[in-house]
Amino acid sequence: MTAATGIGARVLRTEDKRFLTGTGRYVDDLPLARATYAHFVRSPHAHAKIKSIDTSAARAMPGVVAIFTGKDIADAKVGGLICGWVVKDKHGQPHKAPPHPVMAADTVRYVGDTVAMVVANSHDEAKDAAEAIKVDYDAKPANVDLAKALDKGAPEVHPEAPGNLIYDWEIGVKADVDAAFAKAAHVTKIDIVNNRLIPNAMEPRAAAAEYDKGTGNYTLWSTSQNPHVLRLILSAFVLGIPEHKLRVIAPDVGGGFGSKIFCYNEETMVTWAASRVGRPIKWTAERSESFQTDAHGRDHVTHAELALDKDGKFLALKVETIANMGAYLSTFSTAVPTYLYATLLAGQYTTPLIYANVKAALTNTAPVDAYRGAGRPEATYVIESIVSKAAKELKMDPADLRRKNFIPSTAFPYQTPVALQYDSGNYPPIIDEAIKIADYKGFEARRAEAKSRGKLRGIGFSSYIEACGLAPSQVIGQLGGGVGQWESAQLKFNPTGNIQILTGAHSHGQGHETTFAQLISDKLGVPMDQIEVVHGDTATTPFGMGSYGSRSLAVGGSAIMKAADKIIAKGKKIAAHLMEASVADVVFENGTFKVAGTDKAVPLGQAVFAAYVPHNYPLAEIEPGMDENAFYDPANFVYPAGTQICEVEIDPETGVVEVVNHTAVDDFGNIINPMIVEGQVHGGIVQGVGQALLENAVYDKETGQLISGSYMDYTMPRADDVPSFKLGYKVTPCPHNPLGVKGCGEAGAIAAPAAVMNAVHDALAPLGVSHVPMPATPLNVWQAIHGARAAAE
């Protein structure tokens, strides 16, 4: 029965029926009686003092219900937004934590900063009234250019962070690394910028809030990836509404990629204002607002050096990074360039000594936080760029240099010099498989053929590692994280035998409703159509940590399996009673309890019915009902790894780069639904190709205006920008979770940028090009080609 729907089956996504037929229910779809609509007045300046705000004309506009400014928020003593991860700097001091007011009261710090909220009977009326609010600004110099953000004399974003420095953090022992460099036969150096990205989830952020005067209960519908965490932050730190009086619902959510993890101003404002207005308030971001105010991703400036011995063995790695935090510290911003970045710098290699120094800088730009991969794409870009460059410099095959330095499969569990202990892995077969699928041997022939057409063809490798499945709570606590990182599950059978899986994870495109149902279908033998996955509502699901960091299956799925074990254990007792057998003799197979060696059998459904109608039931020994909870705290991160090989063709006349082949071989541990995994890998690669070739969030370096603030100027990848991907898998099951799974949500985006950029560099190497900045747009490529030509002349 379960073969078609169990673990390993390519089950079509059950949720797609409603997504594809337009019957999904998103926050903006909510029919709220007597709803009002919010519109936010935002700063057009990157940095300015607010001299005055005149709302009098706006208040007289038709349909206006209320107007709130930063002063109202300050007067009401609303707490500021928090950064939930305390990173200690190299002197052991906690990071600087400048205030993050829900609405700016006296100073605006980036274009898009919230200045006022208008609530009106309709969205148009709110917008019209917002136009009538007069804000008198005194513009100040803006700190925009990240490379210079920490320079002496740079405009200061917050007085609480002198010199714009949030922390100066390090990992590793610099003296040891320097000593290794002194003995190196070869040193490879790179200077790279990891370009800033705008998340662009298909559904913009939205929030709706309602206050029930009778009970004093608030309900917030939000496009959140983690409704319980959002509620915890709003309750404990910002609004002071007790957790049991605030219900947060994240219904269908159209993509997040990290940007919907965080607690934002707007959802805080509508919740706070709902009780003051006495009517529900709805807000949905316009695309312009999404560009300006969704937490952006990446944005690093890095110098790195790799020391090698005469045989090409890595001796040491040294990395200096400036990471952009934007104008305020978003919810998990401080952790991204430290514990999700520098701790990954060993990659798949045995590099014995690593030193990384990360300086987090404030700038007058939108806050920067986790975005698909969060720190790990940045680490992979550093490692895989420098390894490929070293191979070029040493005239070694890039695959051979990687193989020479891979952690051997016998070395697991492997302790890296940067804190993490890799649980499992076997890297050489992965690159071998990728080389086979990509027909690496035939590449030179393809390069020659491309040349005959006037095209420059290049090939690039990227062998990534990631730590995901966030995460062992005690480790997170030691590193400064403010929350636990377990996950919860509740399996609630109904008397008629169907079942609800209530999960603390949240699906916003990942397909949990299918994957989680497959787990239960496989484990308990319940048909898929008898299983309902419930998520995203703090009032119905157990407290959970939500979805990000490729954690839902490895942690949330493990919690489901733990709860299923409890169901089986209880079912055995019931079945033993019904069959008049000893519990020890009862086995559970294919959805049925049996007594070994006899034909006695009780289907699970019968045991469930007996549990709810306990007429013939061991009530003295066990409680009625079939409803089990489990919380699962992982023993370690999980460590998916893989190799991507990208082939590009470049037109040297126009600088246009075309991705013509892209192979990905991954070790995700055991795979539950290969079709969903493929979808995740495809989407991830496309996002990575987008970063490598197209996407770039650009602020004017002087004025801090967001120049790439619409789809006119911010290029998203489309289907015709990528080839059909070639995928493969190698499986080393995760040894510490019950499913042996590792997580696949971020891998594609983590590995792809380096693979594409290495291919671009390989294609351009014959022209003497040593560096193309990411994204490799036609302009950047063209300029690199002509820069190299000019240098050669």
Partner 1 sequence: MEIKGEYRIAAPRDKVFAALNDPAVLQACIPGCESLEKTSDTEMKAKVRMRIGPVSASFAGKVTLSDIDPPNGYKISGEGQGGAAGFAKGGAVVTLREDAGDTVLNYNVDAQVGGKIAQVGARLIDGTAKKLADEFFGKFAAMVGGAPPVAAVGGTPSADAAPTAAPDTLAPPSPPAAAAQRGYRHWLVIGIGAAVLILIFLASR
- Residues lying near partner 1 in the complex (CB under 8 A): 41-46, 111, 127, 130-132, 134, 145-147, 191, 193, 195, 288, 291-292, 301, 696, 698, 700, 703, 705-710, 712-713, 771, 773-775, 777, 779-780, 782-784, 786-787, 790
Tell me the closest approach of the beta carbon of residue 696 to partner 1, in angstroms: 6
Distance in angstroms (rounded) separating the CA atoms of residues 211 and 245: 10
3-state secondary structure of 434: helix
Contact 384, 461 (CB under 8 A): yes
Nearer to partner 1, 321 or 538 (CB): 321
Tell me the closest approach of the beta carbon of residue 171 to partner 1, in angstroms: 25
Which among 114, 293, 288 is positioned nearest to 709, based on CA atoms? Answer: 288
Contact 554, 736 (CB under 8 A): no
3-state secondary structure of 378: helix
Tell me the closest approach of the beta carbon of residue 773 to partner 1, in angstroms: 4
Nearer to partner 1, 354 or 788 (CB): 788
Tell me the closest approach of the beta carbon of residue 753 to partner 1, in angstroms: 14
Both tokens of residue 623? 């409680």
Nearer to partner 1, 109 or 492 (CB): 109
Tell me the closest approach of the beta carbon of residue 736 to partner 1, in angstroms: 41
Which among 791, 456, 790, 444 is positioned nearest to 653, based on CA atoms? Answer: 456
Nearer to partner 1, 196 or 402 (CB): 196
Distance in angstroms (rounded) separating the CA atoms of residues 472 and 184: 37
Contact 666, 729 (CB under 8 A): yes
Which among 426, 423, 429 is positioned nearest to 467, based on CA atoms? Answer: 423
Strand spans (E) along 674-778: 726-729
Tell me the closest approach of the beta carbon of residue 62 to partner 1, in angstroms: 17
Nearer to partner 1, 68 or 443 (CB): 68
Nearer to partner 1, 639 or 782 (CB): 782
Both tokens of residue 363? 């700038």
Tell me the closest approach of the beta carbon of residue 44 to partner 1, in angstroms: 3
Tell me the closest approach of the beta carbon of residue 707 to partner 1, in angstroms: 5
Tell me the closest approach of the beta carbon of residue 37 to partner 1, in angstroms: 15
Contact 743, 638 (CB under 8 A): yes
Distance in angstroms (rounded) separating the CA atoms of residues 725 and 681: 9
DSSP code, position 440: G
Task: Give residues with Cβ within 8 angstroms of 450, minimum separation 6.
Answer: 456, 457, 649
Both tokens of residue 791? 């240098």
Distance in angstroms (rounded) separating the CA atoms of residues 142 and 47: 5
Nearer to partner 1, 592 or 703 (CB): 703
Q: Would you call the peptide bond into 419 cis, given omega within 30 degrees of 0 as the criterion?
A: no
Which among 182, 74, 87, 66 is positioned nearest to 129, based on CA atoms? Answer: 66
Nearer to partner 1, 733 or 787 (CB): 787
Tell me the closest approach of the beta carbon of residue 32 to partner 1, in angstroms: 24
Q: How far is CA 785 from CA 451, 461, 600, 772, 792, in A?
A: 16, 22, 77, 9, 11
Nearer to partner 1, 146 or 533 (CB): 146
Tell me the closest approach of the beta carbon of residue 360 to partner 1, in angstroms: 17
Distance in angstroms (rounded) separating the CA atoms of residues 109 and 115: 11
Give residue for tokens 């989830």: 201
Nearer to partner 1, 41 or 568 (CB): 41
Which among 413, 386, 291, 325 is positioned nearest to 42, based on CA atoms? Answer: 291
Nearer to partner 1, 301 or 574 (CB): 301
3-state secondary structure of 59: helix
Nearer to partner 1, 245 or 789 (CB): 789
DSSP code, position 622: S
DSSP code, position 190: E
Tell me the closest approach of the beta carbon of residue 789 to partner 1, in angstroms: 9
Tell me the closest approach of the beta carbon of residue 768 to partner 1, in angstroms: 13
Tell me the closest approach of the beta carbon of residue 780 to partner 1, in angstroms: 6
Residues of the chain by 3-state class (helix, strand, coil), percent to 5: 30, 25, 45
Tell me the closest approach of the beta carbon of residue 461 to partner 1, in angstroms: 24
Contact 289, 112 (CB under 8 A): yes
Give residue for tokens 């010199």: 163
Nearer to partner 1, 16 or 286 (CB): 286
Nearer to partner 1, 119 or 645 (CB): 119
Nearer to partner 1, 144 or 467 (CB): 144
650: phi then psi, degrees, rounded to nearest 5: -120, 135
Strands 134-139 and 586-589, by their bridges, are unpaired
Longest dimension (CA), the chain: 94
In sequence order, what are the beta bridge partners of 594? 587, 601
Nearer to partner 1, 82 or 193 (CB): 193
- What is the Cβ-side half-sphere exposure of residue 597, based on CA atoms within 13 angstroms? 4
Residue 354 C-alpha from the chain's centroid: 25
Tell me the closest approach of the beta carbon of residue 781 to partner 1, in angstroms: 10
